[in-house]
Amino acid sequence: MRCRMTRRLSILTVCGLLFLACDDPEAPAPDLSEEPEFAGAYVAGELEFDVPSPDVAGPLRLVATQLQYDAATDQLHAWVAIRNDGREPVPGPTSVAVSDFVPSDVQPTNAVCADPTSLPPALFCAFDHRDTYGDDGVLAAGEVSEAVEWILAGTNGESFAFRARLLFAPSVEGTISGVVFDDRNANGRRDDGEPGVAGVGIGLQHANANFVKIRNTDEQGRFAFDVDEAGLYSLTKTVPPGWRATTPTEMEVFIVRRPDGSLSRFDRADFGCVRTSVDLGIRGTVFMDDDRDGVRDANEPGIGSVGVMVTSLACEEGGIFIARSDGDGRYSIDAGSLQGCGMPWLVRRMPEFGLVGTTPGQFFLARRTPDPGVRTIDFGLAPPESTQAYVTIEGRVFADLNENGEFDPNDRPVRGAQVQLLSPCDLLRASYTDAEGTYRFEPLEIGYCPVTGVWQSLPQFPIHTTPNPVDLQIPDTPGFHLIRVDFGVATGEDPRVP
């Protein structure tokens, strides 16, 4: 017996009317309602038929094979696949909906059928074709899906007709997106001028899932995840080598389903990090400044074995490194030497016996240069002039745990405290304490303007166990003079003070 299958489609939907008609003169002819017919063929010996789609419906075809009619159960069995006859990959349909069987006694037995009592009534059944397109869920050009068994009862071995349409998953409406940014001032917020960081891995996991989606940030540091169900999601940011996180590396995001069925979006999943790699650092030279002009001339030699100390004020512990100049007076300190601690940095030349500074002995770097790079800081030294007084002021700021006004073994240094010189000049001269809580003013800094005292200015501690400010009488007799002033504080509020 030779049979043919026809199909009609509604424009803009993959929706067809399928007929299984036999060349039996007594078989009733289907009513096509003058709509175009798209004919396939079923040859009993080959047990195969297919139904092409018109151009308006796209390149997908339904292909059925292994048709068998079981007269004992009055069931027709067919294995139905979906083939992409186009040139471009397309998403695989989630299911094939069938309805309007003629005669109406014909019905699927292994499809999921809608409730006929619903309002409005949904009188169709759908065969599930999910997970038949491989891992990517896409049909490539020429690709055929895995076949799904369709079982239809009530055919009585006769021809019948029905409508079919392909159903696709609804477009994803929920998104979680954000940016990974270069937090140059390490304040945990994205400020103007702070660019995104490309190539950072971001992971997303739903609370009920045992797998993680991974995305890498684009050239602007942006990333985005599409989500298709409501619930709690966990975001995790990897910290690339040479960077340190300035915001938490994990974030919880809750996606809700709105009354209209759409999913909410969250677009502020931002993460900050600051560069600490070796392409950020300090280089310089310690030199003999014979003409005392603060600039190294071609004939002025370098000075070896002079210590240069860098202290990071961004970390509670660690973040301190001392380099010594080589035989040519050169020194270098990479950010990696500071155990990943970012700026601000305090750069200080260590005292050198018998020499005085012709350049400032301390530099405070509040933030790094706009682009990754190396800061150059040179230090000039020269022998003292016999007719001048060279005064150095130094001391320590410490947490005075027993409030006795003295630095005892159990007391702790305060890092990053500001100490200022007091003078009649409108001039700010400040030093910041290092990891040992020590500060220092070199003779060159003191000589800019008369000094009348020293003041521990920031942060403002509620209790000082030593005088603050302290009046000073600066000696003017030739030679070297050292004045030491310590500041004891007592509070548990500042994180640097236990």
How confident is the model at residue 495, as a pLDDT? 42
Which residues are within 8 A (CB) of 355 and not within 5 positions of it... i.e. 6 or more apart?
Answer: 303, 381, 382, 383, 384
Query: What does the DSSP 8-state code read for residue 9?
Result: B
Residue type, 102: V
Query: What does the DSSP 8-state code read for residue 56?
Result: G
Cα separation, 60 vs 169, whole angstroms? 16
Closest CA to 214 of 205, 255, 206, 222: 205
Cβ(362)–Cβ(309) below 8 Å:
no
3-state secondary structure of 55: helix
Nearest 5 degrees, angle CA 141-CA 138-CA 88? Answer: 30
Cα separation, 72 vs 258, whole angstroms? 50
The structure tokens 């002025």 sit at: 300
Question: What does 307-320 look like in DSSP terms, one character per residue?
Answer: EEEEEESS-SS--E
3-state secondary structure of 486: coil
Element (H, E) at 446: helix 443-446
How confident is the model at residue 135, as a pLDDT? 78
Cα separation, 391 vs 445, whole angstroms? 9
Residue 17 φ/ψ, nearest 5 degrees? -110, 115
How confident is the model at residue 339, as a pLDDT? 61
How confident is the model at residue 107, as a pLDDT? 87
Q: Delineate the domains of the chain, giving CATH numbers in brackets.
A: 2-167 (no CATH), 174-275 (2.60.40.10), 277-383 (2.60.40.10), 385-498 (2.60.40.10)
pTM as predicted: 0.38
Measured CA distances, 141 to 15, 52, 354, 382 (Å)? 21, 15, 83, 79
Q: Could you tell me the maximum CA-CA distance found in the chain, to the nearest angstrom?
A: 131
Cα separation, 149 vs 128, whole angstroms? 10
How confident is the model at residue 42, as a pLDDT? 37
Per-residue pLDDT of the chain (498 residues; tens, 9 = 90+): 233 333 322 222 233 333 333 333 333 333 323 322 223 333 433 444 444 443 334 578 888 888 888 889 988 888 889 988 888 888 888 888 888 888 888 889 988 876 554 444 446 788 888 889 887 788 888 899 999 999 988 888 777 777 777 877 655 568 899 999 998 888 899 998 889 998 899 999 988 877 788 889 998 899 999 888 888 999 999 988 778 899 999 999 999 877 556 788 898 999 999 876 545 578 899 999 999 999 999 999 999 989 998 888 777 666 778 888 998 899 988 766 666 676 778 898 988 878 888 998 888 887 554 445 678 899 999 988 877 888 999 999 999 999 999 999 999 999 989 999 998 877 788 999 988 899 999 888 887 688 999 999 999 999 999 999 999 999 988 888 899 999 999 975 544 444
Cα separation, 276 vs 273, whole angstroms? 9
Cα separation, 277 vs 102, whole angstroms? 73
Which residues are within 8 A (CB) of 138 and not within 5 positions of it... i.e. 6 or more apart?
Answer: 89, 90, 91, 92
Query: Can you give the C-alpha Rg of the chain in angstroms?
Result: 40
Task: Please say whether the dihedral angle defined by the alpha carbons of residues 35, 39, 43 and 48, taken in this order, is positive or negative.
Answer: negative
> Which residues, listed in sequence order, are joined to residue 375 by a DSSP beta bridge?
282
